[in-house]
Amino acid sequence: MNTNNKVAVLGGGSFGTVLANIAASNGYSVSLWVRDAEQALRINSEGANTNYHPELKLSDKIEASDSLQKVVDEASLILIATPSSIFENIILRIKPLINNDKAFLISCTKGILSNPFTLLSDVISSQVNNDIGVLSGPNLAKEIADNKVAGTVIASTNDQLISSVKTVLSSNTFKIYSSTDMQGVELAGALKNIYAIVCGMAESMEVGENAIGLILTRSMAEMSRFAVAKGANPITFLGLSGMGDLVATCTSKLSRNYQLGYNLGKGLALKDAKIRVGQVAEGIRTLEVIKKESSSLKIKMPLVESLYKIVYEDCEPNTLINDLINNPHEVDVEFTY
């Protein structure tokens, strides 16, 4: 760490909780920000976040609080794992509270803001002068909580930040890789949520495993096409934050976005499907942002367009497969700069 051993985690949801527990289990003092005092009290008294991981015994080095000032005060590493819908507000609130100008700020949220199109790392950099990074990968929180092997990617242009994140979060079951392509890692993490919805929907229609393989590869083609248009390195999408996260999220029933797609494929309205999932599925928000941006830039993203029609224009779920088969584009590999 760069100045002291305090780690702040903003967001007491599924992923924030497991990140906090890894850091605390590695010996760091962790302050966990949650949105209400009652939840903080329960976490501190019960030693568990029963809203998300009732089975996970939290380290006694974690202290939860609903006070952002208390949580970020003198922290050397600030991990931001809030939903994208409140991400900008949180950054604005902590901006005057950060009293450690050497603190590293890490975005751990897989989402993109609209009006205008804005990556979450850009939200941070536009407000603070601290060094920043992006953490993303195939990180299904339930498996991490169960101490199953997982890997992730920390992307930054600051070598000391990368080293600090590896030191704080590495464990016998959590492997951390590095990248300098923050934009690519961040885009990959956000985009794959759309395709997890697509795959969940396809699974609910019992299209078969061959079709899922088809969807996964066309998803990768769309993701890399968009990445190139936005200036990211498409090779990043072959790595853990790209293909690794895409495969895990698009094939796992633990994925909230996959669950959302599955329920939509069974005919549930979006509102009801969200209720059934019970937690935030970032893919729906990202779908709207990417549909608008890809249309503006004239980027071809057939799966995005089909899913948008189903979710927002009341088309039938089988539109997804029909559009995929009937799309005139037939070039296989498009992995070019």
For the chain, state the CA radius of gyration: 20
Reading the block at residue 277, the tokens are 């999932």
Which residues have a catalytic role annotated?
A: 192
CA distance 233 to 156: 14
| Of 188, 80, 193, the residue nearest 133 (C-alpha) | 80
Asked if 287 contacts 304 with a C-beta cutoff of 8 angstroms, the reply is: yes
Q: Which residues contact 96 (CB under 8 A, 6 or more apart)?
A: none
Q: Which residues contact 126 (CB under 8 A, 6 or more apart)?
A: none
- Only one residue has tokens 């633990």, namely 254
Instruction: Kindly provide the b/e burial profile for residues 70-82, where b requires at least 16 CB atoms within 10 angstroms of the residue's own CB.
Output: ebbeebbbbbbbb
Reading the block at residue 71, the tokens are 């949580």
CA distance 9 to 336: 37
3-state SS, one letter per residue, for 51-70: CCECCCCCCCCEEEECCHHH
Beta strand pairing status for 77-80 and 6-10? parallel
CA distance 48 to 149: 21
Asked if 263 contacts 273 with a C-beta cutoff of 8 angstroms, the reply is: yes
Asked if 143 contacts 253 with a C-beta cutoff of 8 angstroms, the reply is: no
Spell out where 108-265 has E strands: 112-113, 118-119, 132-136, 150-155, 174-179
CA distance 322 to 333: 21
